[in-house]
């Protein structure tokens, strides 16, 4: 619990002026012991650790994408043209910047690490101070020292109020650490829809993948608080990497392009025409975590009728990425 202990400093509670000619009542507490055994503080520590794990997971994903892009360039350098090498290096630089910016955002001065630390510490510190002050006033202590911070060479054990303070704190334990966060307006989501791969000749001839991509794009852009990455920007990014729009796009390429274009989510998929039905798969990926957040399959008898089926899938996908959506 280092982050709590470092933030508490010395807890001095003075309930009256110290006059040399007046007998003083002095006690002490061990805040380190209190923090380690205060159940609400333990909850706060677990919440803090979980948040830090999430930050680390995202940072690791961003670093992996950057490292993979560098390795890919090293492996392909001899086969690429100068313009392709330049474009790939620009992409690598953008991935590196995204990683560096995230590290600063989280662990830099005043970053989310410090913010979360303060957010969780504040109610803990206040509750301890309030409890110490209340007991000091009730039992008429003039001074209470923090044994964890002050070098106390000797003190009568009867002056140790640690157990009393801890008992009082744990009486009101409710397994919560901070009040519910205030509701903040949701930010617009930036979404990229990649070309859908035609798995067979029949789908190619029917231009099924193109029709599905258009339907997905139109359906998503009509949802509230959604912004779309233009298909032209996605196509240009793919062609810059020597990926033909008719090729199947792997997750690595899609995720790195999604990061480069600063998309919150991206959609990839494929389709095939079997007899008189068109089957399709649709996946939603989150670039910053490299996670698949939604995956589904669907089918329809004709291109003209596939939009309704896709609409059902898009509604479910939006509920996944924005759970408050009805």
pLDDT for residue 174: 56
Looking at 71-80, 123-132, 144-153, which range is the least confident one?
A: 144-153
CATH number of the domain that residue 238 is part of: 3.40.50.10610
Say what angle helices 251-260 and 39-76 make with each other, to 10 degrees: 110
Residue 226 counted as domain residue: yes
Long-range pairs of 171-175 with CB within 8 A, sequence gap ≥ 24: 173/39, 173/40, 174/40, 175/39, 175/43
pTM: 0.61
Residue 102 tokens read as 């995230």
Q: Does residue 233 have a pLDDT over 70?
A: yes
Decide if 44 contacts 4 (C-beta within 8 A). Answer: yes
User: Does residue 210 or residue 145 have the better pLDDT?
Assistant: 210
Q: Is 310 exposed, middle or buried (0-12, 13-18, 19+ CB in 10 A)?
A: buried
pLDDT for residue 186: 66
Residue 96 counted as domain residue: yes
pLDDT for residue 321: 85
Pairing state of beta strands 26-29 and 226-228? unpaired
H or E segment and range at residue 107: helix 82-107
Does residue 302 sit in the same domain as residue 259?
yes
> 235: pLDDT confidence band, cut at 50, 70 and 90?
very high
Domain count, the chain: 2
Residues 6+ apart with CB under 8 A from 28: 144, 145, 146, 147, 150, 152, 155, 159, 160, 161, 162
Decide if 160 contacts 193 (C-beta within 8 A). Answer: no
| Listed residues 155, 182, 209: the one ending a domain | 182
Does residue 143 sit in the same domain as residue 5?
yes
Residue 155 tokens read as 């003190």
Residues 6+ apart with CB under 8 A from 46: none
pLDDT for residue 87: 85
CB atoms within 10 A of CB 102: 20
Kindly report the CA angle at 247 between 246 and 251, in degrees rounded to 5?
130
Q: What is the mean pLDDT of residues 150-177?
A: 71
Q: What is the mean pLDDT of residues 78-105?
A: 88
Does residue 264 sit in the same domain as residue 141?
no
Does residue 140 sit in the same domain as residue 216?
no
**What span, in angstroms and rounded, lies between the C-alpha atoms of 127 and 275?**
70
Decide if 322 contacts 223 (C-beta within 8 A). Answer: no
Composition of the chain by helix, strand, coil, percent to 5: 55, 15, 30
Q: Does residue 17 have a pLDDT over 50?
A: no
Does residue 176 sit in the same domain as residue 200?
no
Decide if 142 contacts 14 (C-beta within 8 A). Answer: yes
pLDDT for residue 266: 95
Residue 145 counted as domain residue: yes
| Listed residues 152, 182, 212: the one ending a domain | 182
Helix (H/G/I), strand (E/B), else coil: 144: strand
pLDDT for residue 128: 83
Q: Is 107 exposed, middle or buried (0-12, 13-18, 19+ CB in 10 A)?
A: middle
**What span, in angstroms and rounded, lies between the C-alpha atoms of 278 and 212?**
10
Task: Give 79's DSSP letter.
Answer: G
| Listed residues 134, 158, 182: the one ending a domain | 182
Does residue 262 sit in the same domain as residue 124?
no
pLDDT for residue 150: 65
Decide if 148 contacts 165 (C-beta within 8 A). Answer: no
Does residue 214 sit in the same domain as residue 156?
no
Does residue 178 sit in the same domain as residue 195?
no
Residue 169 counted as domain residue: yes
Residue 186 tokens read as 């949701």
Does residue 54 sit in the same domain as residue 126?
yes
Domain limits at 78?
1-182
Does residue 171 sit in the same domain as residue 27?
yes
Residues 6+ apart with CB under 8 A from 176: 40, 43
Residue 45 counted as domain residue: yes
pLDDT for residue 230: 94
Residue 326 counted as domain residue: no
Residue 193 counted as domain residue: yes
Does residue 251 sit in the same domain as residue 210?
yes
Residue 273 counted as domain residue: yes
Does residue 1 sit in the same domain as residue 141?
yes
């Amino acid at each position: 619990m280092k982050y709590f202990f470092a933030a508490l400093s010395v807890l001095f509670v003075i309930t009256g002026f110290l006059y040399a000619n007046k007998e003083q009542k002095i006690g002490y507490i061990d805040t380190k012991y209190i923090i380690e055994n205060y159940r609400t503080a333990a909850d706060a520590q677990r919440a803090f650790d979980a948040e830090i794990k999430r930050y680390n997971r995202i940072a690791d994903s961003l670093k992996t994408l950057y490292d993979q892009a560098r390795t890919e360039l090293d492996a392909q350098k001899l086969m690429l043209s100068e313009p392709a090498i330049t474009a790939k290096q620009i992409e690598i630089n953008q991935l590196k910047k995204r990683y560096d910016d995230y590290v600063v955002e989280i662990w830099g001065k005043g970053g989310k690490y410090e913010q979360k630390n303060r957010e969780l510490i504040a109610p803990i510190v206040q509750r301890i101070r309030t409890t110490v002050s209340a007991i000091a006033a009730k039992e008429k202590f003039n001074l209470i020292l923090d044994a964890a911070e002050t070098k106390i060479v000797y003190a009568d054990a009867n002056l140790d109020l640690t157990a009393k303070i801890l008992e009082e704190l744990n009486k009101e334990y409710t397994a919560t650490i901070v009040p519910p966060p205030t509701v903040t307006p949701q930010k617009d989501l930036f979404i990229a829809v990649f070309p859908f791969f035609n798995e067979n000749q029949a789908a190619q001839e029917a231009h099924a993948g193109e029709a599905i991509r258009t339907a997905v794009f139109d359906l998503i852009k009509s949802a509230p608080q959604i912004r779309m990455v233009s298909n032209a920007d996605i196509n240009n990014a793919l062609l810059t990497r020597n990926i033909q729009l008719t090729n199947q796009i792997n997750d690595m390429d899609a995720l790195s392009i999604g990061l480069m274009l600063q998309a919150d989510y991206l959609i990839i998929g494929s389709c095939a025409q079997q007899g008189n039905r068109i089957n399709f798969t649709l996946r939603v990926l989150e670039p910053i975590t490299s996670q698949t957040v939604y995956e589904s399959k669907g089918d329809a008898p004709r291109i003209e009728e596939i939009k309704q089926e896709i609409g059902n899938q898009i509604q479910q996908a939006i509920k996944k990425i924005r759970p408050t959506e009805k």
